[in-house]
């Protein structure tokens, strides 16, 4: 995976933002949020592009896992979904799905930290949000690298 400019810019901004005062945070919070949103969008787009290049069996298994965890598959169909997919492909897809979920959870933790920081006007919470955001992007990049390996499977 090549480095995404939006993510690198966001990481640099978050690193810089960890030293800001409360007043600086108040002035720059919209820019921080916008930059983070751009980084998340770039990572989501890269991840989707990689998944579209996966072999059909793995892509189908991944989509079945996503539907299952999102609760969009009815109870009677949940048992039918895995039967339509290859067990090896399901295992492979589940590892990628777990990495994606871990990155998503980290992203939600970062967003919660920023929301709490804004509500409480807390620079320490804002700094924690920056650390969590950088961590979430690292996890998302790691998940994308794992997903890239599946293209050749």
Q: What is the pLDDT of residues 44-87, one digit of tens each?
A: 999 999 999 999 999 999 999 999 887 654 444 444 444 466 78
- pLDDT (average), residues 32-38: 96
CB atoms within 10 A of CB 35: 21
pLDDT of residue 84: 61
pLDDT of residue 72: 58
- Of 22 and 145, the structure prediction assigns the larger pLDDT to 145
Would you give the DSSP letter of residue 82? H
What are 83-133's pLDDT values in tens digits? 466 788 889 999 999 999 999 999 999 999 999 998 998 999 999 999 999
How far is Cα 93 from Cα 87, in angstroms, rounded to an integer? 10
Q: Do the beta carbons of residue 106 and residue 139 sit within 8 Å?
A: yes
Tokens describing residue 36: 């983070």
Contacts of 47 (CB under 8 A, 6+ apart): 100, 140, 143, 144, 147
Q: Over 70: is that where the pLDDT of 19 sits?
A: yes
């Amino acid at each position: 995976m090549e480095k995404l400019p939006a993510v690198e810019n966001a990481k640099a901004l978050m690193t810089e933002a960890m030293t800001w005062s409360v007043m600086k945070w108040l002035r720059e919070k919209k820019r921080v949020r916008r930059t983070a949103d751009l980084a998340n969008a770039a990572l989501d787009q890269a991840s989707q592009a990689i998944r579209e290049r996966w072999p059909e069996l793995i892509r189908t298994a991944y989509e079945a896992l996503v539907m299952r965890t999102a609760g969009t598959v009815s109870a009677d169909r949940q048992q039918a979904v895995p039967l339509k997919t290859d067990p090896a492909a399901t295992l492979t897809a589940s590892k990628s799905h777990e990495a994606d979920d871990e990155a998503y959870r980290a992203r939600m933790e970062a967003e919660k930290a920023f929301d709490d920081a804004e509500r409480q006007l807390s620079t320490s919470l804002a700094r924690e949000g920056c650390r969590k955001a950088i961590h979430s992007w690292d996890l998302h990049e790691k998940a994308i690298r794992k997903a890239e390996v599946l293209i050749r499977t």
